[in-house]
Amino acid sequence: MNINKLVSGYERGEIMKVVQRTDRGKVRNHNEDHVGIFTNLQGHLLAVVADGMGGHLAGDVASKMTIKLIEDLWDNNAPNKEVPDQMEIWFQQAIQEINGKIYTYANENPECKGMGTTLVAAFCTNKFVSIAHIGDSRCYILNEHGFRQLTDDHSLVNELVKSGQISKEDAEHHPRKNVLLRALGTEPTVTIDTITVDFDKGDYLILCTDGLSNKVSDKEIAEILSKDENLENKADQLIQMANDNGGEDNITLAIIHNSECEKAGDNSCSLANE
């Protein structure tokens, strides 16, 4: 699925450019990832990526439900002010509500028993980004200070790395690499991590599932984002690189660029140029 958007509507007339992609990969028979990019009446942008898990397509159900539920909550009761604390509180409350609905649905439908999903979501303004996540889908930022991961994987392997039991290099090929310690919908309540960082003109944000991060290195992602090309080409190159490196998993991403363009009417901000 190839979707791009030009997001405007901020009071100051700034522009954000966004693109989203999801790809089945080269091995899986179906795609259990979902991605969404939404704006509300205030022109605020929400990007969400979810990687479902569970047998008999239940992972697809969990991730699809998550995207739809967070979109509904975003439309109906998202904060109307650009205040980081309010946004992080909203994330905590909204995702906890979504978790309960997925957990209940899984227990009421035997074919979905045990289903769950990762979630990484970003509320983006031209001043800051508030991020919420659970699982091992990631959010990275590229800015004047370099490229860095903003989320911390809720995985067994990451805990082994943090405790010094294995190295980062060992983690890349660990047999239990895909074991999650937290996921949405698998327990009645869930712990959600949130963080807020500055988001300045020219900065890039990328949300992705492990189908990308397991196959494309941080250095390679940063190099592609830094290219003097449009967002569509950058997204396509990242998907292609993950597939070229094996493509064993579904691959999903959303890229947000806090554009250098100053006004919504600036022709250089048109989709044809991005």
Q: Which of 194, 79, 197 is nearest to 128 (CA)?
A: 197
Q: What domains, with CATH codes, occur in the chain? A: 2-154+183-273 (3.60.40.10)
Other Cβ atoms closer than 10 A to 188? 10
pTM as predicted: 0.89
* pLDDT of amino acid 67: 98
* pLDDT of amino acid 273: 33
Q: Which of 70, 195, 174 is nearest to 128 (CA)?
A: 195
In tens digits, what is the pLDDT along the chain, a chain of 274 residues?
A: 444 444 443 333 457 899 999 999 999 999 999 999 998 877 789 999 999 998 768 999 999 999 999 999 998 888 877 888 999 999 999 999 999 999 999 999 999 999 999 999 999 998 999 999 999 999 999 999 999 999 999 988 878 877 788 877 777 777 677 789 999 999 999 999 999 999 999 999 999 999 999 999 999 999 999 999 999 999 999 999 999 999 999 999 999 999 865 444 443 343 323 3
* pLDDT of amino acid 189: 96
HEC readout, 213-253: HCCCCHHHHHHHHCCCCCHHHHHHHHHHHHHHCCCCCCEEE
* pLDDT of amino acid 261: 52
* pLDDT of amino acid 264: 40
Residue 150, phi then psi, degrees to nearest 5: -95, -20
97, β-bridge pairs: none
* pLDDT of amino acid 224: 98
Exposed/middle/buried for residue 59 (C-beta within 10 Å: 0-12, 13-18, 19+): buried
User: 101-119 burial by CB neighbour count: b if 16+ within 10 A, else e?
Assistant: ebbebbeeeeebeebbbbb
* pLDDT of amino acid 274: 35
* pLDDT of amino acid 42: 74
* pLDDT of amino acid 213: 96
Round to whole Å and give the CA distance between 18 and 36.
11
Q: Which of 120, 95, 96 is nearest to 35 (CA)?
A: 120
